Structure 1
Amino acid sequence: MKVVAAYLLAALGGNAAPGEADIKKILSSVGVEADAERVQKLLSELEGKDVIAAGISKLASVPSGGAVAASGGAAAAAGGAAPAEEKKEEKVEEEEDEDMGFSLFD
């Protein structure tokens, strides 16, 4: 997973085709030693692919709108207006700071 993250960081940084040296440089900057076998396997799997463009196209199909409330959505779909919710004013009582028998700083 670290190798994949380093590859994606390099790709997001503008390097269209990160190589083994790029991945190792990123990982070594945070004190992680890259496994050469895993790096080579990842590079062979992603050779010739634009992972950023592929990811963006997949994200375009993800719905990003909010969910419609069942009662409001049904009323609006039926042509009626959803009833306005009354704002109830609640009194917020301030709780006194109780010691509870111990202190964090004792």
Structure 2
Amino acid sequence: MRHVAAYLLLTLGGNTSPQASDIQKLLSTVGVDADESRLETLVAELKGKDVNELISEGASKLASVPSGGAAAGGAAAAGGAPAAEEKKEEKAEEKEESDDDMGFGLFD
């Protein structure tokens, strides 16, 4: 991940096609050692590609992936009202049952 982040920082800085040596130099400024094989793979995979296009393609792919939050939100919206009513009824019952101490508290 640090290699990709360094690559993106270099492209934001104006270097349209960072090389492995550029990434190593950037990472060394913050005291991080770079993995040579990963760097070479990264540079080879991104050679000749526009980073902004890759990011937009990835974002559109992520948008199509279902997530647990959306499904849970839909289920709550579809059947949330009856569940809320049941909870209110349970709280009312609990309140009535809490008089088991006959008005005396443990620390009164």
Q: TM-score, normalised by structure 2?
A: 0.51
Secondary structure of the corresponding residue to residue 49 of structure 2: coil
Aligned residues: 85
Q: CA deviation at 1:55?
A: 2.2
> Alpha carbons of 1:24 and 1:40: their partners in 2 closer, same or farther (altered >3 Å)?
same
The correspondence of residues 1-106 of structure 1 with structure 2, limited to 5 A, is 1-56=1-56
State the alpha-carbon separation in 2 of the partners of residues 42 and 58 from structure 1: 16
State the alpha-carbon separation in 2 of the partners of residues 35 and 58 from structure 1: 24
**Contact 1:27 1:33 (8 Å CA) reproduced:** yes
Unaligned runs of 5+ in 1: 63-106
Q: TM-score, normalised by structure 1?
A: 0.52
Unaligned runs of 5+ in 2: 64-108
Per the alignment, residue 78 of structure 1 pairs with none
Identity of aligned residues (%): 49
Between structure 1 and structure 2, the one with the greater Rg is 2
Per the alignment, residue 103 of structure 2 pairs with none
Q: Deviating runs (4+, > 3 A) in structure 1?
A: 56-60
Query: Normalized per residue, which structure has more helix?
Result: 2
